[in-house]
Amino acid sequence: MIQTPFYLIDKAALLRNLRRIEQLRAQSGAKVLLALKCFAAWSVFDLMREHMDGTTSSSLYEVKLGREKFGGETHAYSVAFADHEIDEVVANADKIIFNSISQLERFSDSAAGIARGLRLNPQVSSSSFDLADPARPFSRLGEWDAAKVEAVLPQITGLMIHNNCENADFALFDRLLGVVEEKFGHLLARLDWVSLGGGIHFTGEDYPLDAFCDRLAAFARRYGVQVYLEPGEAAVTDSTTLEVTVLDTLYNGKNLAVVDSSIEAHMLDLLIYRHGATVLPDAGPNIYMICGKSCLAGDVFGEFRFERELKPGDRISIQDAAGYTMVKKNWFNGVNMPSIVVHELDGTLKAVRTFSYDDYVASLS
């Protein structure tokens, strides 16, 4: 028995997404890079690298991890690189994408040896949530003035645009790409590659993958560019659970169950975006509010239905715990960090990482 809490990565479930990615690569000609900001549990990169082209990153450490643990094509991007980082970034990347023209120019000598690109901000996005909207007013994420970009075109071979956020609507993707083409089409034709970023939920069962592939292939043909996608969430969706155990139950007007985990420490993204967690099948006559064990009053995973009354020792699986979870876990309240366990394709469970008091101590000084 593996001690809870632990993240349980199911390779068979991961493979479902990877097969969709495989189909997309074959049908559209696009290259697909894993966005490490979303998921960087490198124990399963052996499987992922068979179906994806490489990784993209948001920092020096991510670019190094991508090169070292994933391989394939390695893209480096950062909102801002520091002077002391740039040589190591360049040494570990195949392409470097600058967020601004000033960074492109600042590092023109240091990065001259690899392909360089620039992030565009088309000022439209699929997000209506200010915190996550790359096109929010005064956004620092990318250049938006086509004339300024045109002036530095000789210094770059490609562009990156990330303006889709949790977008499961193909028609909306299509419209947004149309806006990009209107604003920047005359520049695209003079480049070798365009990355359309992440945020497109094309691995979903109902997503019109054929239409999406046709759109990407037509885009690539029209401008003569290699298209890249940078999925995070779409690559790992529904592949992982957070396994927790009930420690205590209370009744305070509602049935509460406290578990040996914390939404703030182990699924922080849900808290930030004010989304509830998912527990399946979420059916039965007993309704419980599942609460974390940190001191935060709102450390609540959500309210779910259960067949039986909960008692200490009961196991609960919190669903969809791959993206933006393990990369954001923290030591708040000294709550034990969940182990990382892989459910291998042959059915065995492998605990690939456990955390201890020593790790907690080592995270501070």
Ligand X SMILES: Cc1ncc(COP(=O)(O)O)c(C=O)c1O
In the complex, the residues that contact ligand X under the rule CB under 6 A are: 35, 37-38, 162, 197-199, 230-234, 323
Least spacing, CB of residue 77 vs ligand X, in Å: 6
Written as one letter, the residue type at 202 is F
d(CA 202, CA 314) in angstroms, rounded, equals 35
Helical spans, DSSP H, in the chain? 11-28, 45-48, 60-65, 86-91, 101-106, 146-151, 170-188, 209-223, 233-236, 263-266, 268-272, 357-362
Nearest of 310, 312, 305, 303 to residue 263 by alpha carbon: 303
CB of 177: closest distance to ligand X in angstroms? 15
Q: How many CA atoms lie within 13 A of 240 on its CB side?
A: 28
Closer to ligand X by CB, 184 or 304: give it: 184
**Closer to ligand X by Cβ: residue 25 or 247:** 25
Q: Kindly state the smallest distance separating residue 230's Cβ from ligand X, in Å.
A: 4
CA angle 307, 313, 319 (to 5 degrees): 60
Nearer to ligand X, 72 or 199 (CB): 199
Question: Closest approach of Cβ 276 to ligand X, in Å?
Answer: 19
> Smaller CB distance to ligand X: residue 28 or 339?
28
CB of 183 to ligand X, least distance (A): 18
Which 3 state secondary structure label does DSSP give 69?
helix
- Tell me whether residue 5 or residue 198 sits nearer to ligand X (CB atom): 198
* C-alpha separations of 296 from 110, 276, 318, 331 in Å: 46, 16, 19, 13
Q: State which residue, 293 or 329, has the beta carbon closest to ligand X.
A: 329
Closest contact distance (angstroms) between CB of 85 and ligand X is: 18
